[in-house]
Amino acid sequence: MTTVYIGMTVDVLHHGHINVIARARELGNVIVGLLTDSAIADHKRLPYLSYEHRQTVVQNISGVSEVVPQETWDYVPNLLHYRPDFMVHGTDWLEGPLAPYRARAMEALESYGGELVEVPYTEGVSSHSMVEQMRAWGTTPDLRRATLKRLIAAKPISRFIEAHSPISALIAEHTSVEVDARLRQFDGFWSSSLTDSTARGKPDIEALDIHNRLQNIDDMFEVTTKPLIMDADTGGKVEHFELNVRSMERIGISAAIIEDKKGLKKNSLFGNEVHQDQESIEAFCDKIRAGRAARVSEDFMIIARLESLILEKGLNDAIERAGAYARAGADAIMIHSRQSSSDEVFEFADIFRQEFPYLPLVSVPTSYNRTSEDELAERGFNIVIYANHLLRAAYPAMQKAALSILENGRSAEIDEDLMGISEILELIPGTR
């Protein structure tokens, strides 16, 4: 029986997909190579629907004989594996970023005598614009919360950045650059205790009430769709942490990171320059277990943060604690450091990975900022958090404008450094 291969993502099913499938069906038995989350994650945002959900949809389209995973953006591995008689694709790949993939697919088909059939691109319908429209409508707490685990499964390293207000969250949501024909974006937000407190003029000592923190996050959630990891400081008293886990889950937060300190917490980047106490291993394990028991959804992650290197307790202490926290059920481990080199966190990761090859590892390279994401991924880190950068960018810019207006007695001198009036008027849809 003649076989026909189509590679597809199918996040939003539309008649363009059906046109391609109908053409393929005329040629033979249709095998749909459905792109997996990890095949997609390297090139653009994860689809709304998980692989399993998309698979259910495609399997039930008439004319489709079989759905198989396409694990790579490139069609070649599946073409050489299934050796279909035909491959069908829309003409949208004749030029632009997909053109090299077309050339590679043609070469693979030629190598065993397969044939390429191209279907005119269906005008007036684009998955991309439909997905953008859906994103503008928003998301649900359940979908958003589950995205973190999907990202960890799909990407070598997921990229989170601090957001402390809706406007900073919009920057984190929408900023993207194209690098090597791939769209590079932030995968989600970090709600930092430092920047959340600082933006409200309060010290970073757990002085902001949790409901203030959650209201702030909910305001960001009003206008965005990406997942958020919350810096939950020490988690507070166990009984309070249990209640707070429920509150975090309910609004759609994906993870709480709690640090193994006790008493009055100070910011980690002070290290031992200020007095800070580390929690006992037993007490912190109890808190991890309590948080896990309190959560309603398996998608919500309790992440244990180690302060051993911050407090100069040494690598052995960090390793001992990491093992204990992992065995207590932590869903991931964050190792913090204030060194300017990543040597100590890399050493930690090497040892940790011997016992725990798969438990996700989180890094916060604020001080060791020359270490790249690729290096972190290579050494076994799954998440990188840029913990304070948007507020640190905003403050000096605002201060410069304030100073210039005072110095000059007018605003003309600073104007060219500012966003234009028409730009700010167009920034938020619906303003006009």
Q: Could you give the residue numbers annotated as active site?
A: 204
Q: Which of 196, 231, 279, 299 binds Mg ion (CB under 5 A)?
A: 231
CA distance 406 to 279: 48
Angle at 176 between CA 174 and CA 181, to 5 degrees: 145
Residue in the block written with tokens 């989600």: 188
Using CB under 6 A as the binding rule, whether residue 388 contacts ligand SPV is answered as yes
Both tokens assigned to 173? 């949501």
Residues 206-235, interacting with ligand SPV (CB under 6 A)? 231
Compare residues 271 and 360 and give the one whose CB is closer to ligand SPV: 271
Q: How far is the CB of 112 from ligand SPV (least distance, A)?
A: 54
Shortest CB 432 distance to Mg ion, Å: 39
Contact by Cβ (8 Å): 120, 93? no
Amino acid at position 253, single letter: I
Of 9 and 366, which CB lies nearer to ligand SPV in the complex structure? 366
Residue 277 tokens read as 């106490």
**Residue 387: which of ligand SPV, Mg ion, none does it interact with, CB under 5 to 8 A by kind?**
ligand SPV
Distance, in Å, from the CA atom of 35 to the CA atom of 7, rounded to the nearest integer, reads 7
Q: Print the binding letters for residues 172-211 with Mg ion: x by CB under 5 A, - otherwise.
A: ---------------------x------------------
344 in contact with Mg ion (CB under 5 A)? no
269 binds, among ligand SPV, Mg ion, none (CB under 5 to 8 A by kind): ligand SPV
Distance CA 43, CA 24 (A): 26
Closer residue to Mg ion in complex, CB, 21/334: 334
Instruction: Report CA-CA distances (Å) from 190 to 37, 212, 259, 304, 389.
Output: 22, 16, 15, 15, 11
158, 268, 276, 337: which one contacts ligand SPV (CB under 6 A)? 268
DSSP string, 328-348: TT-SEEEE----SSSHHHHHH
Residues 395 and 335: their CA atoms lie apart, in Å, by 28
Taking CB under 6 A as the binding criterion, the range among 83-91, 265-273, 278-286, 341-349 that sits at the site for ligand SPV is 265-273
Minimum CB distance to ligand SPV, residue 419 (Å): 26
Q: How many CB atoms lie within 10 A of CB 26?
A: 12
Which CB atom, from 73 or from 284, has the smaller least distance to Mg ion? Answer: 284
CB atoms closer than 10 angstroms to residue 35: 24
Tokens found for residue 388: 């304070």
Helix axes 315-327, 281-294, angle to 10 degrees: 30
Binding site partner of 388, from ligand SPV, Mg ion, none, Cβ cut-off 5-8 A by kind: ligand SPV
Under the binding rule (CB under 6 A), the answer on residue 193 touching ligand SPV is yes
Name the minimum Å distance from CB 170 to ligand SPV. 20
Select 162 or 187, whichever has its Cβ closest to ligand SPV: 162
Helix-strand-coil split of the chain, %, nearest 5: 45, 20, 35
Q: 38 or 337: whose CB is closer to ligand SPV?
A: 337
Binding site for ligand SPV (CB under 6 A): 192-194, 231, 267-269, 364, 366, 387-388
Binding site for Mg ion (CB under 5 A): 193, 231
